[in-house]
Amino acid sequence: MGTTQLETAPEPKYWHLRTVLSDALDTEFAVGEILPNERDLAARFGVARATLRQALEQLELEGRLQRRRGVGTTVAPPRVGVAVDPTCHTWPGAAGDDWQPVAANRTDTVPVAVARLLESAPDETVHIVRRSRVSAGQPVAAELLYVRAGTVPDDVDEDTADPAVRARAVLRALQALDLDGQDRTVELGSARAEDARQLDRLPGSPVLVVTTRYVSQGRAAAVAVSTYRADTCRLTFGEQPAEPVLAG
């Protein structure tokens, strides 16, 4: 990892340094290895510490580095595949689904974009099921599943005190319906406060948002908004099997 003449680079200094550091991470460092301190790195590359911090922050956003309090900056494991489009399309909660129900409640207030996908009336009651996807003991995704109350009117016990039990009841009710199909979109987003807490990230951290609309009897029955950590996950589609997340 030698000194580079950054002064003649056409792009910002921090971005050129980010490229140099990224190449070094691939060739000179192992996963989990601690990087030299900022003072030594800045001296080695002949840049100001502010420039170095910008480059390190960019690599952290990209999932190449991890900052651990009391340890320092370490090389992160590579992103691994998380399957989000299984060959066999099924309802949430069906066999093989590795999401865990956390809680459920009823509301007549949902985001405008979700209400549009559900084709629901302004004051229509909707079940909201919060779910979590965990691998190797680490949270990798959080989900809000919006289910039209009219889709499962008699199958959920309103007197159930345990939110997780109620969530499972809503999911079981979906299994009784015929699934006509589903459509899915993926976009880059920022973690909301509740999702950030569930994912152990800071609010505003970059995330991948997968929105899935489930159709039954010719109309939308449920909409899932799944938020994945962008620093650890790459989403896979089709028949490619899922890989262990956060391996190592």
Band (244; pLDDT cuts 50, 70, 90): very low
- Of 76 and 11, the one with more pLDDT: 76
**The pLDDT of residue 213:** 94
131 closest CA partner among 31, 233, 227: 227
Topology of 13-75 in CATH? Arc Repressor Mutant, subunit A (1.10.10)
Taking the domain 80-237, which CATH number applies?
3.40.1410.10
Q: What is the pLDDT of residue 35?
A: 92
pLDDT, tens digit (0-9, with 9 covering 90-100), for 172-212: 889 889 999 999 999 988 888 988 888 888 788 888 999 99
Instruction: Write the CA distances from 228 to 1, 17, 95, 207, 210, integer angstroms.
Output: 33, 28, 21, 6, 8
For 143-183, the pLDDT digits (tens) are 999 998 887 755 565 556 788 888 988 998 898 899 999 99
Question: In this predicted structure, what is the pLDDT of residue 158?
Answer: 58
Residue 248 has what pLDDT?
Answer: 30
Query: 36-45, 60-69, 116-125: which range is least confident on average?
Result: 60-69
- Sequence spans of domains, the chain: 13-75, 80-237
> Which one, of 111, 137, 130, lies nearest residue 122 by Cα?
111
Say whether 80-237 and 13-75 share the same fold.
no
Both tokens of residue 20? 């140099």
Structure tokens at 35: 């990087």
